[in-house]
Chains A and B, each alone.
Chain A
Amino acid sequence: MATAVAHDHGHGDGHAVHPPTSTGLNTWKVGFWVFMGSETLFFGTLIGTYMVYRGTSVVGPYPQDILDIPLTTLSTFVLLMSSLAVVLALEFLQQGRRNLALFWTMMIIVLGCGFLGFQAYEFTHFYKEGLTLSTNMFGSTFFVLTGFHGAHVTVGVIWLLVLWFDMFRGHMGPQNALRLEIAGLYWHFVDIVWIVIFTLVYLMEFI
């Protein structure tokens, strides 16, 4: 059996240090995929709960009264484009093109903040229309599902801000691009959850 001695591969940056693994795969990356597997069940139960109580509200406002498809389509587009920005940032970081990597990482942050802005506007608008967490079943399930998703986006924005500052200070390069790759996986996961929410929660209400 291999001696489990941590080594830093000569990068000297402290981030690439990890013990040897029998698969040769980075344990952070494997662990993060496992974490995302558990997150699918987390969001699966929230989406399942929304679908169970769909159409059971006995008082308004009802989904058809307040959901705004054009606005949500725009926020969906913003989130999809942020996923494109992630892969571009990673590609350029791996190529050692620091300025382009910095630019695209900042674009992810800006687009992520844009999405959160749309959500903040939507939540405020719904509140003014009389929809709260306790108004009806739609309010309860909608705010819990989209609120948890928004919380995930917020965590992603903070995470990417930290990485952007590290990149800006020259602490990140092709040798430890895995840090951005893992943050990117998280961001894409948040994106695919929204792809499902957009269809099941928003579009399905108008058929």
Chain B
Amino acid sequence: MADHHVTRNAHAEAHAHGQPHDHTTGPDATPHVGWKKYVVVGVILSVVTAMEVAAVETHVFPPHLVVPILLVLTAAKFFLVVLYYMHLKMDHAIFGRVFWAPMFLSVLVVVGLILLFHVVPTWGKFSN
């Protein structure tokens, strides 16, 4: 962590003094994951997609279990792409902050709307 800050400060110094510096090694450099790992993530994404479709089409699981299974599998694919393909796992923390905050708000909006329009209206019906 300390090394990261040293590198970042050195990079900022170079920026400040207009010195030529390598953008493939500074804090704004893209982290290298390696093509083999990218292919592995691609295979996992394909397998998880197949699992999603199988969960719906095979009718092996009861309907009330399929929804949480689908949500978990979708979340897994989502995080795999964001963390590895978009490099948020290895990249500078600022990028994560400016992305996860509105993402959290967005999920809150969707969940809030579903609760407001599909769950809350049923409460009265159950009590009668």
Contacts and interface: CB of A to CB of B under 8 A. Distances in A.
Interface of A: 2-3, 5, 7, 9-10, 16, 20-26, 29-30, 33-34, 36-38, 40-41, 43-45, 47-49, 51-52, 54, 69, 73, 76-77, 80-81, 83-84, 86-88, 90-92, 94, 174-175, 177-178, 181, 184-185, 188-189, 191-192, 195-196, 198-199, 203-204, 206-207
If over half of B's interface residues share one DSSP class (helix, strand or loop), that class is named, otherwise mixed; here it is helix
Give the bracket for the number of chain B residues in contact with chain A. Answer: 35 or more
Contacts of A26: 23, 28
A207 B74 contact: no
B111 to A, nearest CB: 9
Given A29-B95, A36-B99, A91 B74 contact: no
Interface of B: 8-9, 11-12, 14-18, 20-21, 23-24, 26-28, 30, 32-35, 38-39, 41-42, 45-46, 49, 52-53, 56-57, 63, 66-67, 70-71, 73-74, 77-78, 81-82, 84-86, 92, 94-95, 98-99, 101-103, 105-107, 109-110, 112-114, 116-118
A195 B78 contact: yes
Contacts of B92: 23, 25
Given A48-B109, A90-B30, A203-B53, 18 more contacts: A9-B21, A9-B23, A22-B12, A33-B94, A41-B106, A48-B112, A48-B113, A51-B118, A73-B53, A80-B77, A87-B33, A87-B38, A94-B30, A184-B85, A191-B85, A196-B74, A198-B49, A206-B57
B12 A40 contact: no
A73 B55 CA distance: 13
Given A33-B99, A69-B57, A80-B49, A199 B8 contact: no
